[in-house]
Amino acid sequence: MSAMIYPTSNFAEQDKLCIARAKGVYVYDSNNKQYLEGMSGLWCTALGYGNEELIAAITNQLHTLSFSHLFGGKSHGPGVALADKLAAMVPIEDARVFFGTSGSDANDSHYKILRYYFNAIHKPQKRKIITRERAYHGVTVASGALTSLPVNNRHFDLPIDALNILRTDSPHYFSSHLQGESETQFVDRIVANLESLILHENPDTIAAMIIEPITGASGVIVPPDGYYEKVQTILRKYDILIWADEVITGFGRTGNDFGCTTMGIKPDLMTFAKQLSSAYYPISAAVIPGYMHDAMIEQSSANGVFGHGYTYSGHPVGCAAALKNLEIFEREHIFEKAAEAGVYLRKQLETFVDHALVGEIRGKGLLMAIELVPNKLKNTRFADGKVGAFAQRACQEHGLIVRAVAGNSIALCPPLIITHSQIDEIIQKLTKALDDTLIYTQKEKLLFA
């Protein structure tokens, strides 16, 4: 133990895994034990560890310009180049980019920019944001209020009502459908609930709906076919902006450039972080359409400045890292390789379909999850997250790092550079861990008849 307060951890737990070094898709602890990093750290190390090109780009930038801020009109080459590169990539017309250092602060920035924009166009009443049950959008005050996971809300007394946050259904058919309800009926029901919420709250008071194209921390939820098409129709009908949180799904994770491409979403706003730099340097981006930026020019001039920004917004080293990262993605055809590897990963995971604990296998590309259940023939759930936690520890003991999310779903999110043989290694280690977990559930009498 040390003086450190560990983030997103149980303070009562004493056991800590000390990662000492890493290379490629592997990390090594302080005892030199090797682990295949099946979670890309925290969904972020797209190019794996120790990439020499990224290290050189960061080192060169440190030698050239180790820091320069963007306040008051100051600028630098890497920041301008990265903003222009992203604007050319995203499916947003005349895109403008605001930089930060984390997905949480980028979502906070969007929250504030939306207020600023609607005030600028004289619609101050349009301030409510719709989020979804089981959503994760960060842990700062505003982004934490947009998050719907109990562990991230409980005991923090977040001002959810004061921040005008509304919640609608999670689009997870497996866990949320009614008995006998088809996927189409499920989608129609929850989309109707969304429209009812909008009408009850008054569409003229709702600014945007925030969505993860495919969720991460809430269990890697892939909405059924037709869901996003119908949701977008409703949102366009009532002039509500579509805010895509691409912090996890952006830059090849789902086998395409963006999760929006994979899921058929046409966003108005986009949030990026994590794989933007493959986690080699903290950087995030909040992307808005040009018309929003233009509408705020007069207001910022009247105020003297646009009064929002961070010391490290557009840090030149972070921008240099992201530029090199995007260059490697393009040159090495990383998105296409990730799509192909994702097909192979899913095929291998399907070998668990008959395992006694596996209720559902879901995901897209190299973003997958296996949900563990007490009876695969019935729509039942374990009472708590102990089984998922055991499975996560069992994977670690066998040299595989995964993450238990949403209680008992085992998430897999390996680096985009992973090979078929390394995927085979994941499956071998996961097989042992699931067998250990089955023995544990039998011993503890956790399976339902």
320-371: per-residue pLDDT in tens? 999 999 999 999 999 999 999 999 999 999 999 999 999 999 999 999 999 9
Q: What span, in angstroms and rounded, lies between the C-alpha atoms of 82 and 72?
A: 19
From residue 112, alpha-carbon distances to 142, 210, 248 in Å are 9, 14, 22
Compute the radius of gyration of the chain from its Cα atoms: 22
Kindly report the backbone phi and psi dihedral angles of residue 210, in degrees, each rounded to the nearest multiple of 5, phi listed first. Answer: -100, 135
Q: Which residue has the tokens 């956790």?
A: 446
Instruction: Return d(Cα 61, Cα 324) in angstroms, integer.
Output: 11
Across the chain, mean pLDDT equals 96
Strands (E), 223-300: 241-245, 269-272, 284-288
Q: Return the pLDDT at 1.
A: 60
Tell me the whole-structure pTM to 2 decimals: 0.96
Token pair, residue 420, equals 């078929």
Rounded to the nearest 5 percent, the helix, strand and coil shares of the chain are 45, 15, 40
Q: What Å distances lie between residue 206 and 8, 198, 209, 246, 386, CA to CA? A: 31, 8, 8, 21, 39
pLDDT of 14 reads 73
The per-residue pLDDT for 448 is 81
- Check residue 15 and give its pLDDT: 75
State residue 449's pLDDT score: 63
The fraction of the chain above a pLDDT of 70, given in percent, is 100
Longest dimension (CA), the chain: 69
Segment 153-209, tens digit of pLDDT: 999 999 999 999 999 999 999 999 999 999 999 999 999 999 999 999 999 999 999
Return the half-sphere exposure (C-beta side, CA atoms, 13 A cut-off) of residue 190.
24
pLDDT at position 239, please?
98
Average pLDDT of the residues in 215-240: 98
